[in-house]
Structures are given as C-alpha cells and as structure tokens.
Structure 1
C-alpha cells in the first residue's frame, strides 16, 4: 500500500485533461452536480457536451459518480469535484489490498494467503486488457473509473455470498453489496450472478437445497429491488443505447483459447513485460488445490477455470455463447475481471502453500532466508510497476506543461467562451484533428479532449459511444458546408494550414490555431421530412442513417422519419414540406432544455439537433405535441403555421425515481432489520433526569488540570467548529475564475514559481513569495492549495491567540471565548472561505507568532519568523519596534542591539527580493516603490474621494464588532494600560498608519488590530463583567449581530464589493453605521451597567459577600 500510495500520488496532484474514459467520468460528475444544484434529477439528466447529447445516467452505472457528487455537497463545494474525483480514485486504488485481505480472510484463507493475495492484487501487469491491473485506471491507462468500484465490490460480494452458501447467514449484507455492485458496474454484477450460481451448486445436497435456494433467492430479490432504478429503465429502453459496429470485434467476442492460454503460459496475462512471478504463484496455487483438495481451494480453482473458459469468448465457445443471458450485447473481453479475481485468490493460496512447506521443513534461520528470498522475487514485479507509474507521472507532467505553455489555445478558448451557443469542432482522429497534439512526443491529449475537459458542446470523437449518433460523427465531412449546419457546428478550431469548407469566417487567428465561425444554423431549424422508414433493428437503422448522411441529403435539407422502436401511433403524415421563409427570433439552450420562438407561414416540421430519445417532451404554446426520430437520429415534431413558442425538455424516465425511493426504503429496512435495540421496561423509564452540573464541573476541572494541552486543543476545536458552521453559508467568489482581484495575481505567481514563464507578475505582489511558494510546492490546484493553507493557518492562529491571552493571565474560559469571537469575524475564517487566494490568513498567523515570541522573549525565533513574514506581508516588518519597546526598559543597550540583530535579516531579505527579484517583473516595469502609490492613497483619505476618509475611520468599527466597541467602556483603564505597555500603543498607532498609506483595503489592514483589542477587552475589563453569565451571553449575541454572522454573501464582483467597507456603497455604509453604532452602545451599556445601583438588595448582598 505504501508503494502504491507513493507511486500513484501524481494522480491527485494535478488536474490534467484525459485522453481516456476518465474524461467522460469527470464530465458526468460535474453535470450531475449541476443537475442537483438546479433542481433536475441527478439520477437521469441530459449531457449535451458529447455525442450530440445523451442521457448518460439512464444507461450507465452511476453510483461511483454520485459518490463524488455527494462528497462535493458534504465538503460544501470547498474542494473541486475534479479533485474529489481524483482523490476517490486514489484512495480506492491504494486501499484495494485491504479489500482483498479482508475478503480472503472472510472466505477462510489464512493470514499468509490473504496477505500475499492482497499484495499481488495491486501488482498485476496485464498490458491494458481491462482487467484488475492498474493500467486500467491510471491517467495513461484506460480510465475505467467505475470498474474500480466493481473490483472492490466483487471481492466483497464473493465473500458475502460464500458466507450465505456455507453458513446460511449474512443475507442482508450480501444483498446490499450485490445491489451496490449492480449500481457500480453492470458487467461485474452479471459476473457476480454467474458466480453466485456456482456457489449455490457447489456442495448442494438434498438436505440443504431448499435453504440455499431460498437464501440466494432472497439475496437476488433484495439486490434486484435495491438496484431496480438502474436496470429496469436500462432494459426498458436499451434499444436507444448504441451497439457500435466500429468497436473492435475482440471487445464483443474476446480472443479465443489459443491466444489467451498462450498469454497465460508465457506469463503475459498477469506479468506482462517482466518475470512471471505472479504466474508462477498462480501455478503453485493450482497445484495446491489439486494436491490438498481443500474445499475452498477447489471451489476457487473451479471458478477460475470457469471464468477462463468464458473469457475465451465466441471464437472458442461458438454457439454455446448464445446460452448465456443477454448474450447479444455481452462484451466477452471484460470477463478477464473474473479471471483476475480468482487468480488473485489462487496466487495467495500458492504463496501460502510454499510458506507452509518452508515452515515445516527448514530451520528458523532458513525460514528467514526463505522470507528474504520471497521478497527478492517480488523485486522485478515492483520494478516493472514503478517504471510504469514513473512513465505515467512523466507523461502527465509533460502533457500538463505542454497545455499550460500553449498560450495560443488559451486565447482561442477564451474567445470561444465569449461566443453565443453552438457546438465546436477541433477535428477528428482521422484528419487534421490528430495533429493538434501540443507537440507532445507520445500519444496524448488533443485539442478536442480539452473541449471535453472544459465542458464545451462539441462534435468530437466519442469516448464510450453511447448515443445512436456517436458512430455517425466519424462521417462528419468538414469540407461540406451543409454538414456544419446539420451538426450545428458553429465554431471550428483548426490549424492555419487546414483546408475547410467555404463560408467559415475567422474570429481569432494565432500562430497555431484559427478560431472560425461556421454556418451552424442553431440548435433548432425548420426542415422537410421527405419519407418514412421502419428499421427493424439497430444495425438496419444505422445503415440507413449512414447512407442518408453520405448521400448528401443534408444539402437539400430533407430528413427521413424513422419509426424505430416506437409503439406510439404518430398522426403526422409524411412528407412534410420545408418552411419557405422560416424565422427563428429566439433560441435558448440549457442542459436538457431548449426554448425557441419560431414563425412560419405554412405547416412544417422542426428538427432539434440533439439525439432522439423518447424521454424528450415538446410543448408548443404550452401544449405537448408528438415527437419522432428523424435522420441521423434527431428529435423532430410537426408545427402548424404561425408563430409559436416551443419548449423541448428532457424528463427523467417515469419509473426511475419511484424505483429509487423503493430501493432506498428496502435498503434502509434491510439495514434496520440488523439493528437490535434493547429497550428497557416501562418502569425503568421513570427515572429522574440526571443533573449536568457535576459532569460539567468534572470536565472543567479536568481541563484546568491539563490546561497546557487541553486549552490550545479546545481553541483549535472552536475554530474548526466555526469553520464548519460558516462553510455552508459562505460561497467562494466567482468572478475572475474564483480568484478575485489580488487572488488572480497570486495565482499567476504560483504558476511562475512552478516554472510557467508565460505569466507576468508585477510588484509588490511578486515579493510576497511564501504563500504562493507553499502552494506551488504542494502541487495542488491553486484555489484548493490556498484554501488548505488558510485553514491550517487559521487553526494555528486560534492556538496562538489563546496563548497570547494566557500570557496576560486571562482565564482559560475567557481566552476560549475570545477565540470564538475572533473566529466569526468577517475578515477571519469567513474571509478565508470567501476569498481564499490571498496571503492574509497566513499573515495573521505570522503576526500572532511574532507577538507571542516577543512577549515570551524569544528573540532568535522572532527573527526567523520575521524573515518569513517579510516575504508574506511586508507590513509585518513593523513588528520590530514592538519587540524593542517591550523589552527596552530592562536593558536599553543590550535589547537595542539584539533587536537590531534579529531584525536585520528580515530587512535584508525585504530589500533583496526587490533588487534581485525571484520572479522578474515585466520588461516595461520601472520602479517597484511607485507601485505602492502612497501619495494616491493619502490623497484618497485626505480629500475624502469616494468617502474614503469615512471608510478609513469606520473600517474597524464596522468589522470588528465588540472587540472594537468594548474598550471604550473603560477609557481610563485603557489609557493607563497603554502608558504602561508602550508596545501596544505603538502597535495600534502603527496599524492605523499602515492602513493609511498601504492602500484602500482598510478592512484588511485594520483587521490586524484584533490581538491588541482582544487584550484590551479580556485583560483590562473589570473581572465582575465576565463573572456575569447573562452579560457574557448578551455581549456575545451583540458581537454576532455586529459582525453580521451568517449574513448571506454573493459571489459576483458587485456582490463582493458590498462585503467590504472599503468598497461598499455609501448608503450601505451609512446603514451599517447606524446598526453597528446601536449595537456598540448597547454593548458599552451592558459592560458599564451596575446592577447594584438598580437594586439595593443586590448591592447589600454583594457587599456582604465581599
């Protein structure tokens, strides 16, 4: 597992466009999440980007995709779906040995056999034959994502079904696992069903036949109901799922016994390109089964032979293959999964057999030698896998770098994003599209793969080929203008040398690419229906549609109506004439919905250029009309004369949701049947509710006894809880690709530190290297990297703020309250969630670290942190005098020299990066000091431009809540404290000066007042204030209101500007002044309120207790 965890790590460190099926899987996940968010059915929705559109989840196992979508919801969208997709793949691949080990132990294999089988399971080498070898799953491999789930669940299902067969228990578990397998991989569920029949028959006797049949029947029935929402609609409308005639026949028929047995004998089946170590262990396992005749080994051998024979396929089985259920569309080559499953079990058994022989016939010393030899034998296996994964990582890096360096494509894609709706075309594998390869020296991503990665509707080579239209895309002729109209190709990305049809208009030209506007015609057009045909099978329909396409009928714009698999009578006579003067004044395309406003003076028909499916519903002026299929496989309907508003909408299969809820209810009921609750007798219910006082006091005493550990841990926990509470209510900004203003520059800086020299980063942002360098080294996507860095820094800040207040003898409880108050500030944790790509959170952590080091007299550590701080937020260098003022009275000369010594490295680093920049500025850049625009910032305040004088004054009061208000409740105490503690007086003054000259982000600059204000509020305040529980509660409530806790925030640029005092509208600022002013006065009144003056009895009691 450790080997795989390291070798496969590049799979999660960067999102590289895929050339394999993972491109579609990532697209399906994103579309499912969007469907859920927009109120559509995430179990069955339209995917318009590939194959001219298709309801992929109606026919494709989708539990693995929905797992990622649910994880995205549970993480509140903070982690991108692509990252979660890669993480799920990674965790499942790394954890596969655990599944094998547990399953083999559950089956009854020994620890040694299970361990060897678990190790071998992730080390198979099968030359990309769609088996359990990891070649099937990694980036350079096949991208069969759902098979990873199928692989895990096949082992679990085997263990569960074996338990049902041998012990008669575990029916519910077996049903749940088999149901999950059917929802994850239909072919593997098919194989599990055949395996279940063998388990049922193996060891069947007169005595157990009835019980076994009933138990397996119960498993099948429960699993069938749980997964019915997948397989019932699938089989009901299977005729609209493409069975491609272009697919290699070996995918349908497999390779035959001579070829497969040759691979097995030579070791190529399990040990391609290396010494046949696993093949040898498989042979030993077969011998062990025949020699020992152990029941479990014989069963495993029988199943291995069964799946090996079925894997031979039609070339060997001939007519016998037709005896298998659903044989018409079976992909026999995928039966290698069954071969691999039982080969892994036999490999484990073989290794354990050799181990047992060695254990009984040699001394302990020789046994150790045998163990070492066994490990050495596996070295070629590990070496081959390491080489394969290293090449995979290298290819990923080369591909990512090549795409990132292609600035021409970025320009083209940016221009394409600004165009109106329409499909894009970047060539096919059979023409110049194959040459748009980014100059990568091996077969990798093409531009048409990038279109899928960016979720662009496209005419491109299909990945899986599920749509009836998918095979017809290979016949797209980019020399024929009529076919651009037929396939609604509105944009073409081609090399300048490509010869294309006439009528294309260049939109953008670059040295590598030209973006053309093509005569696509729109998603919906009036058309003529010339005749009707009734193909009896899918192959017959395909031949007719392909002949229509190649025959040039698109040029005359005459379509053929197909009465294909449609039992509904269509009262629409054919032929239908084309509209002589069509007018389409409005079109709107959404996933799964098209709205059109069209006008024609005569009766005609309209064709919607999306794949036909009976789940499409069309309304004309609010009334549903009949639809039918026309060539190639498009949705069409008749239209009467006149102007009409048309809505075409894909609706989920009627039974799918009903079956889903039925299956969910059955699954929950089955799980509930396994839960046994012990309910006490009614008399036992008559108990007094225990007091919580004693447990609370004991918990408090325990914390106080271990305060040095428990206090900081609770502070961090409070910040973590605040993060979890804030996350669902705080979306990330959306403008500038979710980076905002400064965030975009820090993203460029991260790219530059990763070696991308195509971006230019100007000072002073290019000097703030530390946060971007950390994210660059992590390899994570920029927004995710900064978010994780911000989260860690925020948790560290909670600990340091607690430590700062404890230095001033603030009680643990009050220190934790202060942490809670800080955690809800709008520029605190919420800011890290809302605007993550900034150095602010890390800068605040370093600020607190500097303060704590200064207060504790850690000069050397202070100097080291100050160097890092100078490369994060340069204003932190101003903490040098804070250290000096804090200690100068003790030893003026010595402290001065030491302060200069620890501050000098930071100053030198500050100057070094400016005169010798790590990231060089653009060539036309002249003076970095001018970028600070101090004179402009001062003018904005002193001339009150855009009310900026008021923004500067009000930023802290309107964003820091009771932190800012309460110190005004005891001004004399505060003045006395500042006279004694000059370093805090300096720090407050310095913060306001830096905010004055530093820029117009007053909220961010004055947020650094929090440590000082926390000391003022919780250290200087009278102790009687915090001993009053009602005052603590009241002040906390006022604080939450003042900081606008959980108030909704928007993601657009305009909504973001209303979030900060420095940019919000004047009207909003004035309203906040009244609101926060009233709350501040209320807080001061509560802090100053003397209840004794209001109640003589209370005063007498207080004096008596004193």
Structure 2
C-alpha cells in the first residue's frame, strides 16, 4: 500500500505541474509586458550589459560590478543592486551566456535573453507545487494529503493582494517575479528549519551538524536573495519553532541553532545587507506609494477578508479557506505540528500591520520602511502547512465512517476485498468534487490571460518594425534621456501592443524619464516636477529626445512640447523629437547649504524647481548626513526640521520658519555661463571638458545623475570631494578656467571587501570540511 501511495502522490504532483505548464504556456510567448515584469527584465538586461562590458566571467572587475552597478534607466539613475535583489538576475544572465546562448548558436536556433527570462519565470511558476510537496515530506506530513495540498498551492485566489496566487506573477496580473524567486524556496527553508530545530540532539556546531544546517541555510539564503522582504518574513516565521516544546534546555538549544542559522544567512549575504543598513538614508520612502502598502489593512479588514474568503478563495466558494480553518484547529491540538498553526497566527497578526499595531511594529528590524501588506505572502505560505493536516483529518473522518458502516453490515468476501481500498477511493472522490471548484477560477483567469497575450502580441507585431526602426535611429544619436509621456497623461495610452512605450524603453536599454517602476532614488520624487511644456525642465533632466504618437492637431501628445523640439524621425505611428540640452554636465552656483533627512527636502526642492533662483542657476548644496562637509563661502545654511519647516543655522535668529511663507533661498551674484564640450561615456564613466567663467566664487560642476556614495569625481585627473546639489545631483567644486571632469560609478569598497572576504572564508571552511571527510574515509 505504501508503494502505491508514493506512486499516487507523484502522479498528483506531476498532474499539478502538467496543468500549470498547460495553463501558463502563453507566458513563454510574450512580446511585451504591461506590468512590473518590464522592470524585472530591465534589471536582467542591465546585468547582461555589465556582463558584456566587464569581461565576465573571467575578469576580477566582473563580480563587484555585477552586484553593485548603476541602473541608469529610471529616476536619473540609481544603484539598484546595492539595495535590491540581484542574484536571480546574475543567475539568469550567467546561465544564458555560459550555456543557453552558446547552445542556441550551435544548433542555429537564436534564443533571446528576453525569451529565456520568460522561460525561467514560466518554469518556476509551473513547478511551484514540487518544492511545496517536498517541504511537506521533509516536515513529515502524510504523502497523499501532502500531494493534494501541493496541488492546491497553485490555486489560491485573491483580488490582487500580492500573495502567492497566480495573478501576482502572470502577464495579466502584477508581474512580481522577484517574489516568485523567493517563494519558490521559502517552503523548503521553513521545512528544513523545522527539521533542524525539532531534533535538538543533532549538533549545531561545525562540522558535526553541517549537512542539516547547510540545507536550512541554503534555502533561507535563496529565499532572501530572491526578495529581501520575503527573507525577513521567512526568518520571522521561524521564531515560533523555538517553542516546539517548553523544555527549558531544548528551548536554549533551539535558540542557539536558530541564531547560528541566522548568522550563516547574514554572513553569506553580508556584502549586500550590511551596506543596506549603513546607507539606508539614500533609499528614500516614496509619497507616490499608497499608505496601505506601508501600513497594511488593519485587523478589521484582514478578518473581514478572511471570513469572506477573499484571502484564499476570491470569486469562488471558500473551499481552501475551509480547509485552512480546519487544518488550523487540527494542528492546534497536535503537539508535533502545532507550531505551524502558531506561525499562521503570527503571520496574520503581522499582516494587520501598522494600522493595528502603530509604532510597535517598527521595533522589528527592517519594518519601518517595509511594505507591510506583503505579509500576505507569510500568511499564504504559513497556510500551506495547514492543508495536509486538514486533508488528512478529512480522510481519517471518512475512514471512521466507513469502519462504522463496515461494522454494521454483513461481511462478505467481496466487501472484504473492497474494504482496504474504500477509504482512499471515497476520499479521492470527495477531493475530485472539490478540485474543479478550486481550479475553475484559475482556469478562468488564465483563459483570459492566454487570449489577451495573443491579442497583445498581434497588436505588438503590427507596429514592431516601425518601433524598432525608430529605436535604431535613436541609437545613432548622442546618449541622453528620452521622454515618452507618463502614466498620468497621454503616455498611458501610447502603447505598442499592451505595453506603454515608456515601459518598453528600459526593456530595450534606453534611459528614460517620468516613469517610476521604483521610487527609491534620491531623484525619484523630484523627477516628477518635470513639465513637458518647459524647455529648461528638459535641460535639467537631460531629456534630449521625445517619442510621441502621431496624432492630429489639437489632440494630446506632440502639441504640448516646446517650440525648440524638432522632429527628426517619423516611423509609422511614432514620432521622434530632439530638443537642445546642455548634456550630462552643467556649471551652477551653490552659495547656500541645506541639511535634511531623506524625505524632508522634497517640498523644498519643489519650491526651488518652480522659483527664480533655479532659473538663474542657483543650485543649493544639500546633505542628509549627520556631519556633512560644508564648503567655505556659504551665504546661508538651513536645516529642514520637517517637510515644510526649517531653521536658519547661519543666522543669529534660529526660530522656526516656513518654506512657503518665508523665503528660504538666496540669489546668485549672476547667472553662470559655462561651456561644456567633448562629453564622453565609457561604461560607467562620464567625462567632459568644462570652461568656468571668471569671478565664479561658488561654482560647482553638476553631473545630472542621482547622487549616491558610489560615485567618485575627478577634476583635472585628481580625485575631489563630491557633493549633492539640488535637485539631488552629483557635484564637485570648481574654479574659473578650463577643466576636465570625470565622474565614475564604482562598486562600494565596503561591498567589494565583504564580497571577497566571504569567498575566502567559505573556501577555507569548505576545504577544511572536505579534508576532514577524506581523513575520516582513510
């Protein structure tokens, strides 16, 4: 019987995977994404650019730049891998360049990086039941209930709550691929942690407990590397496992083990996590994100969602909700597995968010800037571990009924033969009744997803050649940013297929402005002060090109641009305009200094953007450091106290002032008139010749890229102090005369040191472990 159970379990899990492969097959045929996958693939594309330009995989400069480079596509550039997950992108790019692309050339079947990216996403989504099933087996749940629960794992349904339900990842949905990278490994991470902590006799020290600890660490590291936020949720989910029993000695041992697991994770990812903690100030909080993302929904709304079936069974009968509720009560009474019920409670409490807990939740490390609504992932993953017990209880209940009936009926040889099979057959019949009700919603969603992808692809192909011809022409022009509308104006309807043009520009590797798939750059808020009718706004952001629809006179689009914008290319429904800008560099006067935190300066920059001082090229210096370097000769120094209030530090009267009722700026002595020439871009280095006029006492060379500590500046070949100037660009002090300037984005020295230190330490430990194994065999 056990052998048949194994075969049946494998058939069920295999069926779940095959069904997913069929349902999601259109995901491999996508021509353009209308969601966050355009952002995700652009990161892959930029990583591939690093691979091609830094001699990967053989040169020493390859690895540091892969894990820490400037992504120039949005918000005037940002060191996204410094803060955001990047190992999945590196894995995709490395496997493509080392395996997929050479094989495709060998067999004369070209296969693009974009197609490969979609294939990896498709396979992870389709095979998700497999790691879920393996996690259940690791924990020790019965095979058949585990297989059925793994089948159900791909069929959660919500109204766009960003959980593990298919709409979170599909073309029609949100495109949360980084979350997919994380949740694929999260169940195994929790399962192996449970196994490591429940067996307190297994040593946690190295090397005796190495195999088990390695598996725990690997899956938690992979989860965290996929999505840092999901990694934090995973670690929080392990805390109730400390209390698998209330024996004081065992609790202390589990704390030690869990501490060791956390230390291993933090050590392996320290090159990423430590710099994030030290330079979090350069990762701002966006006012464009709705407050519910940061604070979640509160206890009342979460409970309402649960009771209405909206967390697991949106638009269908609450079957999974019922199973999860049953599993919760079954496990609460089960000493061996009750911890998974407690994990579910913890995740639900955390999902209530700041709306319920207020500032208390900020006591948890990493929660202050975290989107707390993403604890829905913790709720979903925790609920998976309730399903096998619910199904097992259902089968046990069926068995009891059959036994009762069997005891009351006359015995016959035929009945005795059927009796051992009656429980599994009837149980599977019951599950077969529930399964179509559960799967139907997924099928309905994917039916439209499949059809709409086909329709979008047809529309995409219709004008694809015209669009690519336009981009080919754009590649021949000097590099600068491109404007193709924004989500709040004509840009939202300006599309190729179902993808907005401003989304596609980064997919094809072009720097653009006014679309913010990420809002963490120091320039992301200030970027939105742009007005497409004002020529100087184009110059400030170095937006030299405009792509607009070919519309009749009087309609939105190409009618609101400055007169200086001249059409240079027309291709089908697309028009390409060029507008004069000063390029990547400018010379400005900075006679005042502003101190702030990472959000209080935003209104001040807006006021400056619309005011006269900016017109006369007065760009205040600004710093969010506690002890900033302040150059000599500042006429005014102010400190922002909140979003609208400041004190004038350079004045005797330090009373609180308001940026709107008091004038916070100074006027320059004159408008600087400098000459910029010979601009060049070499990988991540931007250079130019700058001629600074005489009598310019507080002149700074401004580089039009968002400020970050990773930038280094050389003037006349010598490294100089870098500053930030309004709106939040990189700048360096200069003197009258002609100078060469060179601004380079480099991997942070701390990150490089930690990265290579980890490699050395891991290599030493691995060598010692292998030597010990070899000696023990002898």
TM-score bracket relative to the smaller structure: 0.7 to 0.9
Please list, as runs of the form range in 1=range in 2, the aligned pairs for 1:993-1032 lying within 5 A after superposition.
Answer: none
CA contact under 8 A between 2:588 and 2:672: conserved in structure 1?
no
Name 1:594's counterpart in structure 2.
Answer: 686
> 2:189 is matched with which residue?
157
In the alignment, which of 321, 327, 343 is matched to residue 285 of structure 1? Answer: 327
User: Is the contact between residue 225 and residue 666 of structure 1 (CA under 8 Å) also seen in structure 2?
Assistant: no
Instruction: State how far apart, in whole Å, the 1-side matches of 2:735 and 2:509 are.
Output: 36
User: Taking structure 1 as the reference length, what is the TM-score of the superposition?
Assistant: 0.59
Distance 2:116 2:595 in 1: 46
Aligned mates of 1:681, 1:193 — CA distance in 2: 36
Note the C-alpha offset of 1:637.
Answer: 1.0
1:30 aligns with 2:30: no
Q: Does 1:455 align with 2:509?
A: yes
**2:564: which partner in 1?**
503
Is 1:3 the counterpart of 2:19 in the alignment?
yes
Shift in CA distance, 464/594, structure 1 to aligned 2, threshold 3 Å: same
Question: Could you tell me how far apart the structure 2 residues matched to 1:124 and 1:463 are?
Answer: 26
Distance 1:261 1:628 in 2: 49
Kindly state the Cα deviation for residue 319 of structure 1 after the two structures are TM-superposed: 3.9
Does the 8 Å contact 2:38/2:504 carry over to 1?
no
CA distances 1:432-473 after superposition (whole Å, capped 9, x unpaired): 1122135x6xxx411111212211111131002121211223
Could you tell me which residue of structure 2 aligns to residue 174 of structure 1? Answer: 216
Q: Are the equivalent residues in 2 in contact too, given 1:165–1:200 (CA < 8 A)? A: yes
Q: 1:420 aligns with which of 465, 471, 478?
A: 478
Out of 657, 666, 677, the residue aligned to residue 585 of structure 1 is 677
Determine whether 1:305 maps to 2:305: no
* Higher RCO, Cα 8 Å, sep 6+: 2
- SS of residue paired to 2:198: helix
Work out whether 1:137 is the aligned partner of 2:169: yes
Verify the 8 A CA contact 1:612 1:633 in the aligned structure 2: yes
Post-superposition Cα deviations, 1:519-568, rounded to whole Å, max 9, x if no partner, equal: 22211111222421111x22212222222223365433221210222645
**Structure 1 counterpart of 2:750:** 655
Q: Which runs of 5+ in 2 are unaligned?
A: 1-16, 55-60, 103-110, 203-211, 403-418, 636-667
Map residues 910-925 of structure 1 onto 2, 5 A cutoff. none
The answer (yes or no) to whether the contact 1:253–1:331 under 8 Å persists in 2 is yes
**Partner Cα distance (2:184, 2:743) in 1:** 41
SS at match of 1:617: strand
Deviations 1:269-291 (A, max 9, x none): 1111122221121122123224x
Partner of 1:382: 439
In the alignment, is residue 619 of structure 1 matched against residue 718 of structure 2? no
Instruction: Name the counterpart of 2:639.
Output: none
CA distance in structure 2 between the aligned counterparts of 1:195 and 1:596, rounded to whole angstroms: 52
Give the 3 Å change call, closer, same or farther, for CA 218–605 of structure 1 in structure 2. Answer: same
SS of the equivalent of 1:643 reads: strand
Structure 1: runs of 5+ lacking an equivalent: 683-1106
Q: Distance in 1 between matches of 2:490 and 2:224?
A: 41
- 1:248-327 mapped onto 2 (5 Å cutoff): 248-290=290-332, 293-327=333-367
Q: Tell me by how many angstroms 1:393 deviates.
A: 2.1
Structure 1 475/323 Cα, relative in aligned 2: closer, same or farther at 3 Å?
A: same
Matches of residues 40-79 of structure 1 in structure 2 within 5 Å?
Answer: 40=61, 41-75=65-99, 77-78=101-102, 79=111
Does the CA contact (< 8 Å) of 2:96 and 2:116 recur in 1?
yes
CA distance in 2, matches of 1:589, 1:471: 26
Deviation at 1:80, TM superposition (A): 3.0
Choose from 357, 381, 384 the match for 1:341: 381
Alpha-carbon distance between aligned partners in 2 of 1:383 and 1:635, rounded to the nearest angstrom: 54
Look up the match of 1:952: none
| Aligned 1:92-171 pairs, distance under 5 A | 92-168=124-200, 169=202, 170-171=212-213
Q: Which one is further off, 413-422 or 159-168? A: 413-422
Shift of 1:92: 1.3
Tell me the residue number matched to 2:621: 561
- Residues 1:601 and 1:397: Cα distance change in structure 2 (over 3 Å): same
| Contact 2:523–2:727 under 8 Å retained in 1 | yes
Contact 2:198 2:244 survives alignment (8 Å): no
Take 1:655 and 1:680, find their aligned partners in 2: how far apart are those partners? 39
Indicate the structure with greater helix content: 1
- The 8 Å contact of residues 145 and 389 in structure 2, kept in 1 or not, is answered as yes
Matched residues in 2 for 1:618 and 1:667: separation? 35
**3-state SS in 2 of match to 1:12:** helix
CA distance in 2 between counterparts of 1:269 and 1:672 reads: 48
Is the 1:490–1:521 contact (alpha carbons within 8 Å) kept by the matching residues of 2? Answer: no
Rate the CA distance shift 1:681–1:351 in 2: closer, same or farther, 3 A: closer
Please state if 1:529 is matched with 2:590. yes
Provide the rounded CA distance (Å) in 2 between the counterparts of 1:30 and 1:54. 15
Sort the Cα spacing of 1:609 and 1:325 in 2 relative to 1 into closer, same or farther, 3 A.
same
For the residues of structure 1 that align with 2:119 and 2:763, how far apart are their CA atoms? 28
Return the alpha-carbon distance in structure 2 between the equivalents of residues 640 and 373 of structure 1: 82
Deviation at 1:589, TM superposition (A): 2.6
- Aligned-partner Cα distance in 1 for 2:307–2:529: 42
Other-structure match for 1:487: 541
Q: Alignment partner of 2:317: what SS? A: coil
Q: Is the 8 A contact 1:31 1:47 kept in 2?
A: yes
Looking at structure 1, the residues matched to 27 and 76 of structure 2 have their Cα atoms a distance apart, in angstroms, of 30
Q: Partners of 1:461 and 1:624 in 2: how far apart?
A: 34
Taking the aligned partners of 2:186 and 2:19, their CA distance within structure 1 comes to: 24
Match of 1:192 in 2: 234
Cα distance in structure 2, aligned partners of 1:237 and 1:577:
35
Structure 1, residues 1066-1088: CA drift from partner, whole Å, max 9, x if none? xxxxxxxxxxxxxxxxxxxxxxx
Query: Contact 1:504/1:518 (CA < 8 Å) preserved in 2?
Result: yes
Q: Structure 1 residue 658: deviation in Å?
A: 2.0
Q: Secondary structure at the match of 1:378?
A: helix
- Between Structure 1 and Structure 2, the one with more strand by share is 2
RMSD: 2.3
Q: Any idea what SS the aligned residue of 1:327 has?
A: coil
Asked if 1 retains the 8 angstrom alpha-carbon contact of 2:616 and 2:670, the reply is no
Equivalent position of 2:11 in the other structure: none
2:393 is aligned with 1:393: no
Aligned residues of 2:78 and 2:706 also touching (Cα < 8 A) = yes
For 1:745-772, what per-residue CA distance to the aligned partner results, in whole angstroms no more than 9, with x for missing partners?
xxxxxxxxxxxxxxxxxxxxxxxxxxxx
State whether residues 71 and 84 of structure 1, in contact with CA within 8 Å, keep that contact through their aligned partners in structure 2.
no
Q: Mapping of 1:826-975 within 5 angstroms?
A: none
Aligned to 1:409: 467
Task: Name the larger-Rg structure.
Answer: 1
Q: In structure 1, how many angstroms separate the alpha carbons of the residues matched to 2:759 and 2:24? A: 35
Post-superposition shift, 1:380?
Answer: 2.3
Name the SS for the 1:595 alignment partner: strand
Following superposition, the deviation at residue 591 of structure 1 comes to 4.5
Report the CA distance between 1:213 and its aligned residue.
Answer: 2.6
Q: Name the stretch that deviates more: 208-217 or 53-62.
A: 208-217
- Give the match for residue 34 of structure 2: 19
2:590 match: secondary structure: strand
Query: For residue 664 of structure 1, what is the aligned residue in structure 2?
Result: 759
Are 2:395 and 2:423, in contact at CA under 8 Å, matched by a contact in 1?
A: no
What SS class does the counterpart of residue 687 from structure 2 fall into? strand
Indicate the larger mover: 662-671 or 590-599.
662-671
Q: Tell me the SS of whatever aligns to 2:32.
A: coil
Contact 2:617/2:672, CA 8 A, preserved across alignment: no
Q: Residue 208 of structure 1: SS of its match in structure 2?
A: helix
The superposition leaves residues 777-803 of structure 1 with CA deviations (integer Å, 9 ceiling, x where unpaired) of xxxxxxxxxxxxxxxxxxxxxxxxxxx
Instruction: Tell me the residue number matched to 1:221.
Output: 263
- Taking structure 1 as reference, are residues 102 and 251 closer, same or farther at Cα in structure 2, changes over 3 Å only? same
Q: Once the 2 structures are TM-superposed, how far is the Cα of residue 615 of structure 1 from its aligned partner?
A: 1.4
Deviation of 1:504 after TM superposition, in Å, equals: 1.1
Cα deviation, 1:345-366, whole Å, max 9, x if unaligned, reads: 1122211211122234325447
TM-score between both structures, scaled by the size of structure 2:
0.83
